[in-house]
Structure 1
C-alpha cells in the first residue's frame, strides 16, 4: 500500500522493554513501506542543536572571500564550501548554497585505494571570523553518533535479525557526513521559479539520513509509490530520518530508499500571516557504511516473513540494480563516482579521468 503521510516515531519507546516491541513494529512499517519517518523525543540535547542552528546563518553571512578560503574545489575529500548552484542533482543545478563537513579523519595514505579519499580532514572556517563554530558542529556530530549507532541495532531488530547483524558493515570509527544548506528565496520571475529546484528528485546514498529542518519552511516532499508528492514539513522537536540506497541494497529492497526533493515554491517562503520567512536552512547528517563493503562480504539472511512484506517487483528490481551498481566493486567506488558527478568542478581538478568515464557511462545513449 502507498502512503499519504510520514509516520512519527517516539524514540523514548525504544528505551523501555514494555514499549520497545511497539516501537519496532512502527519502525518496521516506516522502513519497509515508507522510507521516511519523523523521530521525536530523541536524545540529542536541544542546546547542542540550537548552538549549531544559531551558527549556521552566521557561517553563510561570512564575506565571500572568507567562504572561498575553504571552497570545496580545494579538497579532494569533497569537503568545504559550494557556491549557489554548484551542485547538480538529476543533471540539473540545485538552487542552494552549502558547506560539507564530516567526521574529522586523517587523509588516507598513498597506498590506500583511491576511494578512501572520501575520508579526510575538514576545511574549517577561520575561527576568528566565526568563533565557536567548529565546536558547535563537532558537538552536534558527537551527539548524532550514539543515535546512529543505536539505529544499527534497532533496524536489525525491526527486521527480526540479531541485534548486531548490521554492525560488521560499518567503519570504526563511525564516519558521518554533514551538510549545512541555505536555500535562498526563489527568483522573482514566476516562469523562472517554476523551473528552479532546491534539490531535485533523488534518493540518498548512505545507510540513514538524520535531517534537522532548522527553519519553519515547508518544501521537503517525499514521493509515494503512486508517484504523488507527500509534504514533510517541520515538526517541532523532531528529526526526519530516511533510508539510503546502501541500506536498501544490502536488504534486497526490504528497506525502501524513497525519492524526495525540496520545492522552492514561493508560498514555502511565506508564513501563515503572509510575512516573508527569509532563507530556508537545513542540516542533514548522512550515516556512512564501510567504504570497503562489497557483495562478497555481505551475508544478511533476511527472514522470509520479512522479505514477503515487499511484494512490489519494481522495488525489488530497483534494489537489485542498486546492489549491482554499488557493489560491483566496493561501496566506496560507487560513492566516489557519485561525488565526482555531483561536484564536477572538484572532479575536474582531482579526478578528471573518473569524471570523464562517469559522464560517458551515464549519458543517455
Structure 2
C-alpha cells in the first residue's frame, strides 16, 4: 500500500526522536502502528497468546456463556442479528489479578493458558503506561499528573466467522472506542480493519505480523482538551476465513476526568465539561451514539465544535 494511504508507524525504540511524530499521528489520525515494542511484549508471548485465544473460542458454548458482563460488553458476546459473524470473550480489568483469575475460572482454562494470559496482561498494562506517558510528554504534560497506570484496562478477544456469503459485509459496525487507548494485536493474515481519515475515507489497515495497532478513543479527546482525535473504525469481511484479534482497552479513571490544566489557557479554552468514564459510557449507550457523536453532549457552553 502507498505510504500516503496507510496509518503512521511509530518506532517504540526511537524515543524521544519519535515524540513529535507520535503527537502528529494522534492529532491527524487518532491511531498508529507500533513497531519495536518487543522488549515489553515479545513476539513469542504474542504468538502464545494468539494460540490461547483460538483455543478458548473452541470450547463449548455453555462454558463460554459463563463469561458474564461486569459492564456492558465486557463478557461473552454471541453472534447477533446486527453482527452475525462476530463473537467475543472478555474481562473488565486486566490490571486486576482477581479479574483475570475469575475470567480463567469461568472458562476452565489450563494452567498454561492462565499463565500466558497473566503474562500478556502485565505486558500490555505496562505498554499502556509507557504510551500514555509518551503522549503526556509530547503534549508538555508532567507524567505525574496523569495517573494512567491506575486506570482499568478492559480485555476482549474477538473471532469473526466470515463465510463466502459474508464477503463485503460488515464484521463490526462503524464506531469509536469509548475509552482512552486501545492496543490491538490484529490477525496475522486476514485483514478487515479499516480506519477513517480526516477526509472521511476508510483506509484499510493491512496485516503486519508482530506489530500492534494503537487507537485513541473518546476519553483521549476529552483528556487532551480536543487536541488528540478519536478514530472511527470498522471491520469489513474481505475473505471467507476465520479472523481473530486481541483488543485491550485503557478505559479511563474511576474519578472525574477533565481536560488537563496544562492544555487549557486563554488561547485554548476548555472544550469539555468534567465527566467520569462510567457516566460517559452510559451516555453512549442511552443515546445510541457510538461513533464519537456523544462527545458533543459534553461540550462546554462556550466551546465550539472541534
Q: TM-score range by the shorter chain?
A: 0.7 to 0.9
SS state of the match for residue 127, structure 2? Answer: helix
Whichever of the two has the greater Rg, that structure is 1
Alpha-carbon distance change, 289 to 65 in structure 1, aligned in 2, over 3 angstroms: same
Q: Could you tell me how far apart the structure 2 residues matched to 1:128 and 1:99 are? A: 13
Would the aligned equivalents of 1:67 and 1:125 in 2 still touch at CA under 8 Å? no
Q: Could you tell me how far apart the structure 2 residues matched to 1:40 and 1:284 are? A: 17
TM norm structure 2: 0.80
Q: Could you tell me how far apart the structure 2 residues matched to 1:138 and 1:255 are? A: 31
| Structure 1 unaligned blocks of 5 or more | 15-19, 87-91, 108-118, 270-277, 308-315, 343-357
- Shift of the alpha carbon at 1:71? 4.4
**2:185 aligned residue (209, 212, 218):** 212
| Structure 2 unaligned blocks of 5 or more | 289-293, 298-306
- Shift of the alpha carbon at 1:84? 1.4
Alpha-carbon distance change, 161 to 128 in structure 1, aligned in 2, over 3 angstroms: closer
CA deviation string 1:99-134 (max 9, x = no partner): 012326499xxxxxxxxxxx8984335565645222
Q: Could you tell me how far apart the structure 1 residues matched to 2:188 and 2:209 are? A: 10
Which one has the bigger helix percentage? 1
Computed over aligned residues only, the root mean square deviation of the Cα atoms, in angstroms, reads: 3.2
Alpha-carbon distance change, 336 to 79 in structure 1, aligned in 2, over 3 angstroms: same
Alpha-carbon distance change, 106 to 142 in structure 1, aligned in 2, over 3 angstroms: closer
CA deviation string 1:232-266 (max 9, x = no partner): 11212211011111011121221010111111133
TM norm structure 1: 0.68
Q: Is residue 5 of structure 1 aligned with residue 45 of structure 2?
A: no
The alignment of Structure 1 onto Structure 2 pairs a total of residues equal to 283
SS state of the match for residue 249, structure 2? Answer: strand
Equivalence for 1:103: 94
What pairs up with 1:343-358 in 2 under 5 angstroms? none
Q: Is residue 57 of structure 1 aligned with residue 54 of structure 2?
A: yes
Would the aligned equivalents of 1:7 and 1:37 in 2 still touch at CA under 8 Å? yes
Equivalence for 2:213: 240
CA deviation string 1:105-164 (max 9, x = no partner): 499xxxxxxxxxxx8984335565645222211210101122111122100111123333
Alpha-carbon distance change, 125 to 181 in structure 1, aligned in 2, over 3 angstroms: farther
Alpha-carbon distance change, 100 to 337 in structure 1, aligned in 2, over 3 angstroms: farther
Equivalence for 2:303: none
